Amino acid sequence: MDALGYYNGNWGPLDEMTVPMNDRGNYFGDGVYDAAICANRVIFTLDEHVGRFYASARLLEIQPSCSQEELKGILNSLVQKMDNVPLLVYWQWTRGTSRRNHVFPEGPSNLMIMLKSTKIPDLSKKIKLITWEDTRFLHCNIKTLNLIPSVIAAQRAREADAHEAVLHRGDIVTECAHSNVHIIKDGVFITHPADNLILRGIARTHLLSACNRLGIPVMERAFTVAELFDADEILTSSTSTIALSADFIDNRYVGGEAPELLKAIQDEVFGEFAAATRWGQ
């Protein structure tokens, strides 16, 4: 099986699964989610992703329907039902099932899980980016289902034949439509602080740890669009892409000034993934 769905204990082929019309996710996007990549049946950084998932649920006052250990057990058991190929493992809670009403309903939350085959990224390949005004709300640190601004930005990127859209609020770069963004300048790794304007990415955290191990200075500070274009190197990071570097933004050539430092960082974070999942062995 190359794609599987799960809903409150029932599972089957993804395209055959259904969700009740009164699920709060349908009316309000009232839920939280997380996702991880899996290789050789090992879900990479599962503990960190599940921990963030519970933190998001707590911030939105969604009551978990199971413990963290129970959730990890469910996810790992579903992986065993899949073909042994790289997978994207996605899961979400919605606040529950009830007729449409803005206030919280009584009853348990709904757990939905999706697994599908994916590809492990080639970090040697460069990507293209565009810039796009960040019009999202002020709770970007919560991984909610409310993603319309990111959907629109991702569509604009696709129309421009780009991999991602770099979001900015005025002159300040925040993150991308579905990843974090970072720059390297004069040997320093710079990334927006993990405040309410960005999601604290798991891949971002591992990039910071990789820089610390390599002795590369790190600055968590806001940077501008002008600094983005002037950076020695530009990276995006996410669960599914790990750490990709860009060579064009808005059809302007960027980066390419610190290739050895860039490769050292990418090799370090990819090596962590490969060791944990036995990828390439």
Which sequence positions are flagged as catalytic? Answer: 143
DSSP 148-163: HHHHHHHHHHHHTT-S
Cα of first residue to Cα of last residue in the chain, in angstroms, is 23
C-alpha of 3 from chain center: 19
Among the listed residues 217, 221, 219, 269, the one whose alpha carbon sits nearest the alpha carbon of residue 245: 269
**For the purposes of burial, counting CB atoms within 10 Å of the CB of 161, is it exposed (0-12), middle (13-18) or buried (19 or more)?**
exposed
Among the listed residues 211, 280, 196, the one whose alpha carbon sits nearest the alpha carbon of residue 243: 211
Residue 195 CB partners (closer than 8 Å, separation 6+) = 141
Q: How many angstroms separate the Cα of 63 from the Cα of each of 6, 24, 32, 96, 106?
A: 19, 14, 11, 9, 10
d(CA 176, CA 153): 9
